[in-house]
Amino acid sequence: MAFTLTDNLLRRLCEVNSFQALAQGMTFFALRGCLPADPDDQEFRSEQVLEVVACDYVHPRCTLGQWRPEQASLAVFPGSTIPHIKYIKTSLEKNGKGTNQLMTGFYRDYRKGVHKAGTARAHDAFKQTEGHPVRRTADDFDFDNDDRVEFTNPYDDIHAGWCMGINQNDYASAGCQIIVGFPRCAFRNNEPDVGAWKVFKENAYNISQQSFPYVLLTGVDAQKVALLAAQKIAPRLRFGSNGPLVSTVQTALQQLRFYEGNIDGDFGRRTARAVLDFQTSKFGPSADDGIVGPITAAALGVPWPDV
Protein backbone atom coordinates (compact mmCIF):
# COMPACT_ATOMS: atom_id res chain seq x y z
CA MET A 1 0.00 0.00 0.00
CA ALA A 2 1.34 3.39 -0.98
CA PHE A 3 1.50 6.48 1.22
CA THR A 4 2.91 9.98 0.87
CA LEU A 5 5.95 11.06 2.86
CA THR A 6 6.25 14.77 3.62
CA ASP A 7 8.13 17.14 5.88
CA ASN A 8 5.12 17.20 8.20
CA LEU A 9 5.01 13.41 8.38
CA LEU A 10 8.73 13.23 9.25
CA ARG A 11 8.18 15.81 11.99
CA ARG A 12 5.25 13.79 13.27
CA LEU A 13 7.30 10.59 13.30
CA CYS A 14 9.97 12.35 15.35
CA GLU A 15 7.30 13.60 17.75
CA VAL A 16 5.74 10.16 18.17
CA ASN A 17 9.17 8.62 18.87
CA SER A 18 10.57 11.53 20.95
CA PHE A 19 13.45 12.06 18.52
CA GLN A 20 15.14 15.46 18.67
CA ALA A 21 15.94 15.89 15.00
CA LEU A 22 17.78 18.92 13.64
CA ALA A 23 15.78 22.07 12.92
CA GLN A 24 18.46 23.15 10.45
CA GLY A 25 20.84 21.39 8.10
CA MET A 26 20.36 17.90 6.69
CA THR A 27 19.05 14.81 8.49
CA PHE A 28 19.36 11.30 7.08
CA PHE A 29 16.48 8.86 7.49
CA ALA A 30 15.52 5.36 6.43
CA LEU A 31 12.37 3.28 6.31
CA ARG A 32 12.97 -0.46 6.45
CA GLY A 33 10.65 -2.51 4.24
CA CYS A 34 9.65 0.38 2.00
CA LEU A 35 10.54 1.53 -1.51
CA PRO A 36 10.14 4.76 -3.50
CA ALA A 37 7.35 4.57 -6.08
CA ASP A 38 9.93 5.83 -8.58
CA PRO A 39 13.35 4.43 -7.62
CA ASP A 40 15.03 6.52 -10.34
CA ASP A 41 13.84 9.90 -9.02
CA GLN A 42 16.24 11.39 -6.45
CA GLU A 43 15.14 15.03 -6.66
CA PHE A 44 14.30 16.99 -3.52
CA ARG A 45 10.53 17.43 -3.36
CA SER A 46 7.89 18.53 -0.88
CA GLU A 47 6.41 15.03 -0.94
CA GLN A 48 7.44 11.54 -1.98
CA VAL A 49 5.26 8.52 -2.71
CA LEU A 50 6.47 5.32 -1.04
CA GLU A 51 5.19 1.76 -0.86
CA VAL A 52 5.50 -0.71 2.01
CA VAL A 53 7.15 -3.95 0.84
CA ALA A 54 8.49 -7.14 2.42
CA CYS A 55 12.22 -7.45 3.15
CA ASP A 56 13.74 -10.63 1.76
CA TYR A 57 17.47 -10.25 2.57
CA VAL A 58 18.17 -10.73 -1.15
CA HIS A 59 17.05 -7.53 -2.90
CA PRO A 60 17.33 -3.89 -1.75
CA ARG A 61 13.98 -3.32 -0.08
CA CYS A 62 14.42 -0.14 1.95
CA THR A 63 14.28 3.60 1.40
CA LEU A 64 17.02 5.92 2.62
CA GLY A 65 16.49 9.64 2.47
CA GLN A 66 17.78 13.13 3.05
CA TRP A 67 15.58 15.66 4.82
CA ARG A 68 16.01 19.44 4.75
CA PRO A 69 13.58 20.81 7.38
CA GLU A 70 14.32 24.45 6.55
CA GLN A 71 13.12 23.91 2.98
CA ALA A 72 10.45 21.34 3.98
CA SER A 73 11.88 19.06 1.29
CA LEU A 74 13.15 15.51 1.08
CA ALA A 75 14.87 13.21 -1.40
CA VAL A 76 14.55 9.40 -1.34
CA PHE A 77 16.89 6.66 -2.52
CA PRO A 78 16.46 2.89 -2.86
CA GLY A 79 18.78 0.79 -0.73
CA SER A 80 18.91 -1.55 2.24
CA THR A 81 19.15 -1.32 6.02
CA ILE A 82 19.45 -5.08 6.50
CA PRO A 83 22.33 -7.43 5.62
CA HIS A 84 22.36 -9.63 2.55
CA ILE A 85 21.64 -13.30 3.14
CA LYS A 86 25.04 -14.38 1.80
CA TYR A 87 26.71 -12.70 4.79
CA ILE A 88 24.13 -14.10 7.23
CA LYS A 89 24.83 -17.65 6.05
CA THR A 90 28.55 -17.18 6.60
CA SER A 91 28.11 -15.66 10.06
CA LEU A 92 25.90 -18.51 11.29
CA GLU A 93 29.05 -20.64 11.40
CA LYS A 94 30.50 -18.09 13.85
CA ASN A 95 27.49 -17.75 16.17
CA GLY A 96 26.32 -14.68 14.31
CA LYS A 97 29.58 -12.76 14.41
CA GLY A 98 30.36 -10.73 11.32
CA THR A 99 26.77 -9.83 10.45
CA ASN A 100 24.24 -7.68 12.28
CA GLN A 101 21.02 -5.74 11.85
CA LEU A 102 20.86 -2.23 13.24
CA MET A 103 17.84 -1.73 15.50
CA THR A 104 15.41 1.06 14.71
CA GLY A 105 16.10 4.32 16.52
CA PHE A 106 17.73 7.72 16.34
CA TYR A 107 21.48 7.79 15.74
CA ARG A 108 23.00 11.19 16.35
CA ASP A 109 26.33 11.10 14.56
CA TYR A 110 27.11 9.78 11.10
CA ARG A 111 30.19 11.62 9.83
CA LYS A 112 31.82 12.07 6.48
CA GLY A 113 34.62 9.53 6.24
CA VAL A 114 36.00 6.57 4.31
CA HIS A 115 34.37 3.15 4.24
CA LYS A 116 36.83 0.22 4.09
CA ALA A 117 39.82 2.54 4.42
CA GLY A 118 43.10 1.01 3.28
CA THR A 119 41.49 -1.36 0.76
CA ALA A 120 40.88 -1.17 -2.99
CA ARG A 121 37.17 -0.68 -2.28
CA ALA A 122 37.72 2.31 0.02
CA HIS A 123 35.35 5.15 -0.82
CA ASP A 124 33.86 8.33 0.63
CA ALA A 125 30.90 7.47 2.83
CA PHE A 126 29.29 8.29 6.18
CA LYS A 127 30.78 6.63 9.24
CA GLN A 128 28.95 5.48 12.35
CA THR A 129 31.09 6.78 15.21
CA GLU A 130 29.73 5.23 18.42
CA GLY A 131 28.32 2.05 19.90
CA HIS A 132 24.69 1.20 19.28
CA PRO A 133 22.28 -1.76 19.62
CA VAL A 134 22.43 -4.44 16.94
CA ARG A 135 20.87 -7.87 16.65
CA ARG A 136 22.81 -10.97 15.66
CA THR A 137 21.17 -14.16 14.48
CA ALA A 138 22.72 -17.54 15.20
CA ASP A 139 19.83 -19.85 14.35
CA ASP A 140 18.23 -18.79 11.05
CA PHE A 141 18.48 -16.42 8.11
CA ASP A 142 16.55 -13.44 9.47
CA PHE A 143 16.45 -11.25 12.58
CA ASP A 144 13.76 -11.70 15.25
CA ASN A 145 13.11 -10.45 18.76
CA ASP A 146 14.57 -13.64 20.18
CA ASP A 147 17.93 -12.95 18.53
CA ARG A 148 20.52 -11.51 20.89
CA VAL A 149 21.22 -7.79 21.12
CA GLU A 150 24.76 -6.49 21.45
CA PHE A 151 25.84 -2.92 22.14
CA THR A 152 28.89 -2.30 20.01
CA ASN A 153 30.15 -0.41 16.99
CA PRO A 154 30.40 -2.82 14.05
CA TYR A 155 30.72 0.24 11.79
CA ASP A 156 27.31 0.13 10.16
CA ASP A 157 28.32 2.90 7.76
CA ILE A 158 26.15 4.46 5.08
CA HIS A 159 27.84 3.66 1.77
CA ALA A 160 27.42 2.56 -1.83
CA GLY A 161 25.56 -0.72 -2.28
CA TRP A 162 27.55 -2.16 -5.19
CA CYS A 163 24.33 -3.04 -6.99
CA MET A 164 22.42 -1.87 -10.06
CA GLY A 165 18.92 -1.55 -8.67
CA ILE A 166 16.07 -2.91 -6.58
CA ASN A 167 15.69 -6.04 -8.73
CA GLN A 168 19.32 -7.13 -8.42
CA ASN A 169 19.70 -10.09 -6.08
CA ASP A 170 23.00 -8.97 -4.58
CA TYR A 171 24.23 -5.99 -2.57
CA ALA A 172 27.17 -5.30 -0.27
CA SER A 173 25.97 -5.17 3.32
CA ALA A 174 26.77 -7.29 6.35
CA GLY A 175 24.94 -4.70 8.48
CA CYS A 176 25.75 -1.37 6.86
CA GLN A 177 23.13 0.95 5.44
CA ILE A 178 23.54 0.93 1.67
CA ILE A 179 22.24 2.89 -1.31
CA VAL A 180 21.89 1.50 -4.82
CA GLY A 181 24.83 2.39 -7.07
CA PHE A 182 28.60 2.05 -7.26
CA PRO A 183 31.35 4.18 -5.69
CA ARG A 184 34.45 5.79 -7.02
CA CYS A 185 37.35 3.70 -5.75
CA ALA A 186 40.59 2.03 -6.81
CA PHE A 187 38.78 -1.29 -7.39
CA ARG A 188 36.75 0.46 -10.12
CA ASN A 189 39.83 2.25 -11.51
CA ASN A 190 38.51 5.47 -9.97
CA GLU A 191 35.54 5.60 -12.31
CA PRO A 192 32.99 8.18 -11.03
CA ASP A 193 30.25 7.38 -8.53
CA VAL A 194 27.08 6.21 -10.28
CA GLY A 195 23.43 5.58 -9.49
CA ALA A 196 21.39 6.82 -6.56
CA TRP A 197 24.54 6.65 -4.43
CA LYS A 198 26.16 9.37 -6.55
CA VAL A 199 23.31 11.78 -5.83
CA PHE A 200 23.09 10.92 -2.12
CA LYS A 201 26.81 11.43 -1.61
CA GLU A 202 27.03 14.65 -3.60
CA ASN A 203 24.04 16.18 -1.80
CA ALA A 204 25.77 15.73 1.56
CA TYR A 205 29.40 16.23 0.53
CA ASN A 206 28.59 19.48 -1.25
CA ILE A 207 27.54 21.18 2.00
CA SER A 208 29.75 22.12 4.96
CA GLN A 209 27.86 19.96 7.47
CA GLN A 210 30.13 17.17 8.73
CA SER A 211 27.88 15.22 11.09
CA PHE A 212 24.41 13.92 10.21
CA PRO A 213 21.72 12.47 12.49
CA TYR A 214 20.02 9.35 11.21
CA VAL A 215 16.40 8.36 11.86
CA LEU A 216 15.76 4.64 11.26
CA LEU A 217 12.18 3.35 11.39
CA THR A 218 10.09 0.94 9.33
CA GLY A 219 7.78 1.53 6.42
CA VAL A 220 4.92 0.24 8.58
CA ASP A 221 5.76 2.85 11.25
CA ALA A 222 5.54 5.65 8.70
CA GLN A 223 2.46 4.29 6.94
CA LYS A 224 0.56 4.01 10.23
CA VAL A 225 1.23 7.62 11.18
CA ALA A 226 0.40 8.76 7.63
CA LEU A 227 -2.97 6.97 7.69
CA LEU A 228 -3.90 8.37 11.10
CA ALA A 229 -3.09 11.89 9.88
CA ALA A 230 -3.81 14.39 12.70
CA GLN A 231 -5.38 11.82 15.03
CA LYS A 232 -3.76 11.29 18.39
CA ILE A 233 -1.47 8.29 18.58
CA ALA A 234 0.28 6.39 21.36
CA PRO A 235 3.99 7.26 21.41
CA ARG A 236 6.86 4.82 21.02
CA LEU A 237 10.17 5.14 22.82
CA ARG A 238 13.25 3.40 21.47
CA PHE A 239 17.01 3.85 21.24
CA GLY A 240 17.73 7.55 20.71
CA SER A 241 14.45 8.84 22.16
CA ASN A 242 14.82 11.78 24.52
CA GLY A 243 12.63 13.75 26.91
CA PRO A 244 10.39 13.65 30.00
CA LEU A 245 8.57 10.46 29.01
CA VAL A 246 11.91 8.64 28.82
CA SER A 247 12.67 9.88 32.35
CA THR A 248 9.36 8.46 33.56
CA VAL A 249 10.18 5.07 32.04
CA GLN A 250 13.70 5.15 33.51
CA THR A 251 12.25 5.85 36.97
CA ALA A 252 9.84 2.92 36.70
CA LEU A 253 12.61 0.60 35.51
CA GLN A 254 14.84 1.77 38.33
CA GLN A 255 12.16 1.10 40.93
CA LEU A 256 11.87 -2.45 39.57
CA ARG A 257 15.68 -2.82 39.69
CA PHE A 258 16.19 -3.16 35.96
CA TYR A 259 17.88 0.21 35.48
CA GLU A 260 20.89 1.52 37.39
CA GLY A 261 21.73 4.60 35.33
CA ASN A 262 20.91 8.26 35.77
CA ILE A 263 17.39 9.59 35.27
CA ASP A 264 18.43 11.81 32.39
CA GLY A 265 15.69 11.41 29.78
CA ASP A 266 18.13 9.82 27.30
CA PHE A 267 17.14 6.43 25.89
CA GLY A 268 20.69 5.23 25.45
CA ARG A 269 22.54 2.00 25.95
CA ARG A 270 21.65 1.42 29.62
CA THR A 271 17.99 2.25 29.13
CA ALA A 272 17.76 0.04 26.05
CA ARG A 273 19.29 -2.89 27.93
CA ALA A 274 16.94 -2.33 30.87
CA VAL A 275 13.89 -2.29 28.58
CA LEU A 276 15.02 -5.48 26.81
CA ASP A 277 15.62 -7.28 30.12
CA PHE A 278 12.27 -6.13 31.51
CA GLN A 279 10.38 -7.25 28.40
CA THR A 280 12.09 -10.64 28.44
CA SER A 281 11.24 -11.19 32.11
CA LYS A 282 7.64 -10.03 31.70
CA PHE A 283 6.66 -11.30 28.26
CA GLY A 284 9.32 -13.80 27.18
CA PRO A 285 12.31 -13.64 24.80
CA SER A 286 10.23 -13.35 21.63
CA ALA A 287 8.63 -10.09 22.81
CA ASP A 288 11.72 -8.05 23.67
CA ASP A 289 11.72 -5.53 20.83
CA GLY A 290 13.36 -2.78 22.92
CA ILE A 291 10.47 -0.41 22.17
CA VAL A 292 8.27 1.05 24.90
CA GLY A 293 4.66 1.32 23.78
CA PRO A 294 1.33 0.96 25.59
CA ILE A 295 1.78 -2.71 26.56
CA THR A 296 5.26 -2.32 28.04
CA ALA A 297 4.22 0.96 29.69
CA ALA A 298 1.22 -0.74 31.32
CA ALA A 299 3.44 -3.53 32.64
CA LEU A 300 5.72 -0.84 34.10
CA GLY A 301 2.76 0.94 35.67
CA VAL A 302 3.45 4.07 33.61
CA PRO A 303 0.46 6.13 32.38
CA TRP A 304 0.80 6.38 28.61
CA PRO A 305 -0.35 9.61 26.97
CA ASP A 306 -1.40 10.15 23.37
CA VAL A 307 0.44 12.71 21.25
Q: Are residues 192 and 74 in the same domain?
A: yes
Please indicate, yes or no, if residue 211 is contained in any of the structural domains: yes
What are φ and ψ of residue 110, in 5° steps? -105, 125
Of 189, 222, 255, which residue is a domain's last?
222
| SS3 category, 29 | strand
Containing 213, the helix (H) or strand (E) segment is: strand 211-218
222, 256, 273 - which closes a domain? 222
Per-residue model confidence as pLDDT tens digits over 57-114: 999 999 999 999 999 999 999 999 999 999 999 999 999 999 999 999 999 999 999 9
Domain contains 18: yes
- Cα separations (Å) of 156 from 5, 81, 159, 260? 25, 9, 9, 28
Total number of domains in the chain: 2
In a domain, 157, yes or no: yes
Asked if residue 160 and residue 269 are part of one domain, the reply reads no
Q: Is residue 227 part of a domain?
A: no
pLDDT digits (tens, 9 = 90+) for 120-163: 999 999 999 988 999 999 999 999 999 999 999 998 999 999 99
Q: What is the pLDDT of residue 1?
A: 82
Largest interatomic CA distance in the chain: 60
Q: Tell me whether residue 239 is in a domain.
A: yes
Residue 306: inside a domain, yes or no?
A: no
Q: What is the predicted pLDDT for the residue at 230?
A: 80
Question: Is-contact 176 195, C-beta < 8 A?
Answer: no
Range of the structural domain that residue 72 is part of: 2-222
Cα–Cα distance measured from residue 163 to residue 169, given in angstroms and rounded to the nearest whole number = 8
Mean residue pLDDT across the chain: 96
Residues 6+ apart with CB under 8 A from 217: 13, 17, 29, 30, 31, 32, 104
Predicted local distance difference test score (pLDDT) of residue 107: 96
Whether residues 104 and 193 fall in one domain: yes
What pLDDT, in 10s, does the model give residues 155-203? Answer: 899 999 999 999 999 999 999 999 999 999 999 999 999 999 999 999 9
